[in-house]
Chain A
Amino acid sequence: MRYLYMAAAVVFLLTILPLQGYSQDIITDVTYEMSFPASNLKDYTDNTSYRGIGIGVRRFVAPKISVGGFFGWNIFNEDTNKLISLDREEFSADVSGRQFRYINAVPIFFSTHYYLGKSEKVMPFVGANVGTYYIRQRLELGVYSINEDNWHFGIAPEAGIIIPLGYDNGVIANFRYNYAFESGESISGESNSYTFWSLNVGVAYMH
């Protein structure tokens, strides 16, 4: 995890410091993220995630365009007795018992946003995020646990709004589609491309 934090810091520094901002406007936002699994992720953990956080920094390089970075952390988990079939290189087996299944997804993105308006009341935007997901898949079964850690290339288009409340702060809400491409091996041996939707609400600080 230490290297993960270092990577996140490097992303922000490389994104923010060297940029020549058009108007020196910077938006820093922190959001609470609620995520909904889909596809392979839903097959593994079929529960909505209420444990998520996102931190983004954007710098305007044109009147309606900003670039920046994003760092997030979403936790999916499920307590289940469902039979799980493992089809790994070393063996194939059917396993039953009470299982605690976890997915920790850490997106680290370069981001760009286009603002559809910039009134004093609301700032709708659309954005594109490109970068990487660090994903730890964990299975606890009996007295054993299995982990698979992989870095995935990923994309995350989003749309949302910023509602200024004061001179330099406001509320931000957005909806993001997250897609992590397949990488490495999953616990079950099946495809580990992951998809989830996230609904995010938080505060934005403009400076």
Chain B
Amino acid sequence: MIEGKTCKKKSGYKLIFMIVCLTTVLFSCYPNSDRDAADFDVAVTFYDPDVNFSNFQTYAMPDSIVHLTDPQQGDHLTRQQDNRILLTIATNMEDLGYTREMNPETNGADVIILVSAMSDENWETYSSYAPYDSWSWYGGWGYWGWWGPSYNTYYPWGATVAYSYTTGTLILEMIDMQDVNEESELINTLWVGAINGLLEGSDSGLEFRIVSNINQCFDQSPYLDVN
């Protein structure tokens, strides 16, 4: 009888051990790979599905990009990529069959492309418990410490780490110059392309990423094609 009870008890422990082992297989609910700055780039497009874009043939675009800045955060953006950004947009619009009107005040245009940019500084914090020594007690501090060099400092109350990252957003808005409500002072927006990503890396790398994502915005908007 005693042997039987012992056998069943061992089998129970085996089962518990198996449960623990199998649970560790799961390890992570959200497995992912290492990512670099480009992997955080996002291109989003919105559009009015009721609009027939073939009704538009001409467009105008300002020769500058508006920076939307928060006075408290300041402007983290440079203007080194402005010309390249505007050229990329113009190239895509031409490929889609639109003709750029260089004198819209006189000749008018069907739509206007407005380009704006903003940056956002984000802060994150996390706390860690470090029961082990983070700093070694310098043995040369013997004067201050009657404790010898074998002692170490540690943080039983944990430590809080703060880090920040800056993101940039480029917004392309196509507005309908044929649909302007002067009473409410509202202009209908037909299409929006927005690019968001980390403001990290070299200037050339950043420019490459911006241009790639502008192209992506137009690639994922085949309805804009008026050819």
Contact = CB atoms under 8 A, between A and B. Distances in A.
Interface string B177-213: 0000000000000000000111000000000000000
Interface in A93-138: 93-98, 100, 102, 104, 138
Interface in B14-49: 14-15, 18-19, 22-23, 25-27, 29-33, 35, 39-46, 49
B161 interface: no
B18 A202 contact: yes
Range class of the B interface residue count:
35 or more
Nearest to A53: B22
Nearest to B192: A93
Contacts of B42: 95-97, 141-142, 144
Contacts of A31: 22
A169 B22 contact: no
A33 B40 CA distance: 32
A73 interface: yes
B29 A75 contact: yes
A91 B46 contact: yes
A32 B150 CA distance: 48
A92 interface: yes
A83 B222 CA distance: 13
A31 B25 CA distance: 12
A28 B23 contact: no
B18 A207 contact: no
A207 B53 CA distance: 71
Nearest to B49: A92
Given A94-B44, A94-B45, A169 B7 contact: no
Contacts of A167: 7
Interface in B147-170: 165, 167
B79 interface: no
B29 to A, nearest CB: 6
A100 B32 contact: yes
A100 B167 CA distance: 19
B43 A95 contact: yes
B29 A104 contact: yes
A3 B196 CA distance: 36
Interface string A170-207: 00000000000000000000000000000000110101
Most buried by A among B7, B15, B220: B15
Interface string A71-95: 0010101010001000000011111
Given A51-B25, A93-B46, A98-B39, 11 more contacts: A30-B22, A53-B25, A53-B26, A83-B220, A93-B44, A94-B220, A98-B40, A98-B41, A102-B30, A138-B30, A205-B12
16 contacts: A30-B19, A32-B25, A51-B25, A53-B26, A75-B26, A79-B33, A95-B43, A97-B39, A97-B40, A98-B39, A102-B30, A142-B41, A143-B165, A144-B42, A203-B18, A207-B8
Q: 6 tightest CB-CB pairs across the interface, nearest first?
A: A142-B42, A97-B42, A98-B39, A205-B15, A100-B32, A96-B43
Interface of B: 7-8, 11-12, 14-15, 18-19, 22-23, 25-27, 29-33, 35, 39-46, 49, 122, 165, 167, 196-198, 216, 220-221
